[in-house]
């Protein structure tokens, strides 16, 4: 059992939790993830390690409420417990030797982009962060990105905060203004990562993306998280989650990811109805 030490609502659909997990905190690195079960009968879901504190023995997770399990998790409060919390899993993000990097975060993907930007900053890399959201009320981790970035471009689709436009608009402007990056790291919705790589390919800038497909066991055994990368089958849980963006078949990944949305929505609605009945 793993105790919830802190819970914070970041926006109407995104929540941060700090979990007491000293063994995971001791080994965790940016880019890795954990798999949790809310209770003994729950499903296993992967969540990225958004931050960690080795001295305190804590691991921070940030999740978007989209399905039954994240709805259940969001009903947990400080002082309560999560049944299983396993990790760290996956290959840590490669950051060594990079002198100047553009980190691109989209929506809740910023929770994955932030720890990478933080590590780059700590090792002395010049970090330019481009973060995008649909609107002002969905913005998360703004202060955190400001603290670890030499430059921050805040974008919103509707222009309600920062600059109106897409992250690709800001990235293109930076590149064309003369900024030269050793690497671009893009994390967010698949469609966003696809268009970032289409842009960076024009300028031949190496680009890394973080893939988060359906995942069950986290050890490569189930095959649920398979992707096509460079014409070969890869598994996000053991080969990734980071991959060369130029080699990822985004269209296949988007098609596979959309297969389960009706089931996810149905489970979410059933869980919400259950909580409503309990409240009555």
Residue 189 lies in a domain: yes
Verify that 127 and 220 share a domain, yes or no.
no
- The answer, yes or no, to whether residue 267 has pLDDT greater than 70, is no
CATH of the domain at 155: 3.40.50.80
Residue 280 is assigned to a structural domain of this protein:
no
User: Are 59 and 148 in a shared domain?
Assistant: no
Does residue 280 carry a pLDDT above 70? no
In a domain, 126, yes or no: yes
Residue 34 lies inside a defined structural domain of this protein = yes
pLDDT in the model for residue 261:
63
**Is residue 34 located within the same domain as residue 85?**
yes
Query: Burial code of 49-75, b = ≥16 C-beta within 10 A, e = fewer?
Result: bbbbeeeebbbbbbbbbebbbbbbbbe
Q: What is the pLDDT of residue 268?
A: 47
Structural domain boundaries, residue 117: 93-205
What whole-number percentage of the chain has pLDDT above 90? 74
Domain identity same for 196 and 115: yes
Q: How many domains does the chain have?
A: 3
pLDDT score recorded for residue 277? 56
What is the domain-level CATH number for residue 83?
2.40.30.10
Query: Is 185 within a domain?
Result: yes
Of 89, 114, 136, the one marking the end of a domain is: 89
184 and 216 housed in the same domain: no
Residue 212 pLDDT: 84
- Say how far apart CA 4 and CA 23 lie, in whole Å: 15
Q: Do 151 and 191 sit in the same domain of this protein?
A: yes
Is 217 in the same domain as 201?
A: no
**pLDDT higher than threshold 60 for residue 114:** yes
**Whether 133 and 198 share a structural domain:** yes
Average pLDDT for 217-223: 78
pLDDT at residue number 84: 93
In this prediction, residue 218 has a pLDDT band, given cuts at 50, 70 and 90, of: confident
- What mean pLDDT is predicted for residues 68-72? 88
**Is the pTM higher than 0.95?**
no
Identify whether 272 is part of a domain. no
Quick one: 185 and 231 in the same domain?
no
């Amino acid at each position: 059992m793993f105790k919830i030490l802190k819970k914070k609502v970041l926006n109407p659909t995104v929540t941060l939790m700090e979990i007491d997990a000293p063994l995971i905190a001791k080994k965790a690195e940016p880019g890795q993830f954990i798999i949790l079960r809310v209770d003994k009968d729950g499903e296993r879901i992967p969540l990225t390690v958004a931050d960690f504190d080795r001295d305190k023995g804590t691991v921070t997770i940030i999740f978007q409420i989209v399905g039954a399990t994240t709805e259940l998790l969001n009903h947990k409060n400080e002082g309560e417990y999560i049944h299983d919390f396993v990790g760290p899993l996956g290959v840590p993000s490669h950051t060594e030797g990079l002198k100047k990097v553009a980190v691109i975060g989209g929506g809740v993907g910023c929770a994955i982009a932030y720890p990478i930007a933080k590590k780059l900053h700590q090792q002395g890399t010049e970090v330019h962060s481009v973060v995008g959201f649909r609107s002002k009320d969905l913005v998360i981790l703004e202060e955190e990105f400001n603290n670890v970035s030499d430059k921050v471009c805040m974008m919103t689709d509707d222009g309600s905060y920062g600059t109106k436009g897409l992250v690709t608009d800001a990235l293109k402007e930076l590149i064309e203004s003369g900024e030269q990056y050793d690497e671009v790291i893009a994390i967010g919705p698949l469609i966003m990562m696809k268009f970032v790589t289409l842009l960076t390919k024009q300028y031949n800038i190496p680009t890394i993306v973080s893939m988060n497909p359906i995942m069950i066991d986290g050890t490569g055994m189930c095959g649920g998280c398979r992707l096509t990368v460079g014409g070969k089958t890869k598994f996000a849980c053991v080969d990734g989650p980071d991959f060369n963006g130029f080699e990822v078949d985004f269209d296949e990944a988007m098609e596979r990811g959309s297969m389960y949305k009706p089931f996810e929505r149905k489970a979410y609605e059933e869980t919400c109805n259950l909580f409503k009945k309990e409240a009555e």
